[in-house]
């Protein structure tokens, strides 16, 4: 079980699209668990990538992201990776504000 977590609420009218892209992309590495509007994924350690957990919830005009890890460094790496992928998905369509707390 992951000990640390950080949450980001990303406001965007394209929340369903980004969630679908994110889950499709990361779902190649693990089997997503779907519980209503929330999708959870757990990743075992791969090379330099630490074991992590991610949940994605789609709400009206926002994504609720929760990143989990066993230590601070892994949590930072997890948050950075999630943000990097979402910025890439958004491309030039919009500037996403992804702030973790």
3-state SS, one letter per residue, for 52-97: EEEEEEEECCEEEEEEEECCHHHHHHHHHHHHHHHHHHHCCCCCCC
More confident residue, 55 or 95: 95
What is residue 96's predicted lDDT score, i.e. its pLDDT?
A: 93
For the chain, list the domains and their CATH numbers: 4-89 (3.30.310.50)
What is residue 2's predicted lDDT score, i.e. its pLDDT?
A: 56
Enter the tokens of residue 50. 């630490």
What is residue 70's predicted lDDT score, i.e. its pLDDT?
A: 83
Question: How much is the average pLDDT of 8-31?
Answer: 85
């Amino acid at each position: 079980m992951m000990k640390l977590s950080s949450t980001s609420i990303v406001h965007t009218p394209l929340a369903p699209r980004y969630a679908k892209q994110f889950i499709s992309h990361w779902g190649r590495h693990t089997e997503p668990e779907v519980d209503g509007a929330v999708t959870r994924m757990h990743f075992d350690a791969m090379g330099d990538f630490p074991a992590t957990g991610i949940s994605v919830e789609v709400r009206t005009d926002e994504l609720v992201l929760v990143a989990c890890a066993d230590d601070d460094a892994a949590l930072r790496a997890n948050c950075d990776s999630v943000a990097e992928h979402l910025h890439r998905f958004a491309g030039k369509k919009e500037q996403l504000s992804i702030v973790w707390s």
